[in-house]
Amino acid sequence: MRWVNYHLERAGTQRRLHNFTSDIVDSEIYTHLLHQIAPNGSGVTLSPLGVHGNVPRAGAMLDEAEKLDCREFVTATDVAAGNYKLNLAFVANLFNKHPNLPDPGADEVGFSVEDVIEETREEKTYRNWMNSMGVDPYVNWLYADLQNGVVIFQLYDIIRPGMVTWKRVVRTFHKLRGMMDQIQNCNYAVELGKQLRFSLVGIQGKDIYDGNQTLTLALVWQLMRAYTLSVLAQCTQSGDSLPADKDIVAWVNEKLKNSGKSTSIRSFQDPAISDGKVVLDLIDAIKPNVIDHSLVKSGKSNEDKMSNAKYAITCGRKIGAKIYALPEDIVEVKPKMVLTVFACLMARDYLPDMKQGAASAPIVPMINGN
């Protein structure tokens, strides 16, 4: 997308690419891109812009792409339907064959490898959580693989079995109706979220289909939170009533106090969490003699905090807590992920059988986050 937008800016058009679905259905971005990257003498023109109708215009655009030997992967219907994966392959082929970028070190640097946006830690955490749930297909890229809603429905069915009316879900997508069916699925996914009282103000199915990062992450976070709390609700035999944040905080402090620990938390944003000691104390309260206190650092430096956080997550997972968060989430006190750490430890405490071969001997700390 950065490469495409770099060339759109050079072409002098106001259009910019934000996704590989709705933004490209009219073929205008593709037409400007092809004209900009075409070598001199190739004969590529902007004539498709004068063609009426998305499918005919896409056909004319592909005729221009053929002049660059780049007509592969998509048909005119695929472009007009906004087929994400095929359009991504089409653009990747253009990039590989005709990058038309300035030489390294040139003053005209508007696009660089260093600027490419990689998967964030939050995105990776959510993706790994989904795959650990056994969803099919496997989630490789969060936004593209949630686009048709099928993975989201599987997660709903895990959180609350039977809530998805599968007859309403389209699972096979045809070229002519593929885009509409996927948006219809996403609309239903938002509807189910509201049934679970998710905060989805301003979020529509098309936002999920378009891969809107902020709004997609808002839904995914609430799915993971609901899953974590649903497991906790089953453990505490609270039925359909999911524990509130204050209930988890109260449990943490009571568990620590009853075990003679001096640590406590006020909320999931408490700066005291950053050195990892409260998590280590909680694990020690749940299963005594697991923590080797000689390995616990003072927590005064960032290096010490990271060491403690890695050790805490290692120990938590070892005693059977299904912790999805990363050490950085504890050190940076990311409240969303910190909640899942304490909720998973609470679930482990209420359901000791969750442990998977927990050892009684002290556990060695995490190395490089592994």
Residue 78: CATH number of its domain? 1.10.418.10
User: What value does the mean pLDDT take over residues 359-370?
Assistant: 38
Confidence of residue 241 (pLDDT cuts 50, 70, 90): low
Total number of domains constituting the chain:
3
Same domain, 227 and 307: no
Q: Scanning the structure block, which residue is given the tokens 């749930």?
A: 133
Percent of the chain that is helix, strand, coil (3-state, to 5): 55, 0, 45
d(CA 259, CA 281): 9
Same domain, 256 and 293: yes
Confidence of residue 238 (pLDDT cuts 50, 70, 90): low
Domain coverage including residue 80? 2-115
Residue 60 has pLDDT above 50, yes or no: yes
* Residue 290 exposure: Cα atoms within 13 Å on the Cβ side: 25
Confidence of residue 354 (pLDDT cuts 50, 70, 90): very low
Give pLDDT, residue 134: 84
Number of CB atoms found within 10 A of residue 172's CB = 6
CB 46 within 8 A of CB 67: no
CB 355 within 8 A of CB 257: no
Q: Scanning the structure block, which residue is given the tokens 């997972």?
A: 317
Residue 332 has pLDDT above 50, yes or no: yes
Most confident of 50-54, 104-108, 175-179, 230-234: 50-54
Q: Which residue has the higher pLDDT, 111 or 182?
A: 182
Reported as type and span, the H/E element at residue 259 is: none
Instruction: Give the total residue count for the chain.
Output: 370
d(CA 4, CA 93): 12
Q: Which residue has the higher pLDDT, 369 or 278?
A: 278
Most confident of 245-254, 316-325, 347-356: 245-254
Instruction: Evaluate if pTM is beyond 0.95.
Output: no
DSSP state letter for 353: G
Q: What is the mean pLDDT of the chain?
A: 86
**Domain assignment of residue 360, yes or no:** no
Asked which of 115, 144, 175 is the last residue of a domain, the reply is 115
Same domain, 151 and 249: no
Same domain, 163 and 188: yes
Q: Which amino acid, residue 146?
A: L
Angle between the 28-37 and 2-11 helix axes, to the nearest 10 degrees?
80
**Domain assignment of residue 42, yes or no:** yes
Asked which of 235, 260, 284 is the last residue of a domain, the reply is 235
